[in-house]
Amino acid sequence: MRCGIYVLTIWQQDKHAKQLADKLAARLPRCDTERQWNDVAFALGLLQHKNEDITKLVAEGFKMVPAAA
């Protein structure tokens, strides 16, 4: 329980929220599955910090790359 309170305290601080949002946004292009992408996008949506670039990246959605034949 104590760990959860600590995490919530960090999220409420704008500086830490921005850093966490940037790190999560950097993971989006590296997601291998739509499930991974959805999980990271969900976590980004929970953060108070909003960034136009991140919002645009999430709005574009998960991109599937066709497999080479």
CB atoms within 10 A of CB 43: 13
Local confidence band at 12 (pLDDT 50, 70, 90 cut-offs): low
Q: Which of the four pLDDT bands, split at 50, 70 and 90, describes residue 1? A: very low
**What tokens appear for 34 in the block?**
């739509």
Task: Tell me the backbone φ, ψ of residue 44, rounded to 5 degrees.
Answer: -60, -40
Q: Give the mean pLDDT of the chain.
A: 75
Q: Contact at 8 Å (CB) between 62 and 38?
A: yes
Residue % of the chain over a pLDDT of 90: 0
Contact (CB, 8 A) for 40 and 27: yes
Q: What is the mean pLDDT of residues 12-36?
A: 83
Instruction: Please give the pLDDT value at position 65.
Output: 54
pTM assigned to the model: 0.62
Whose structure tokens read 């996008």? 41
> Please, are residues 38 and 7 in contact by the beta-carbon 8 Å criterion?
no
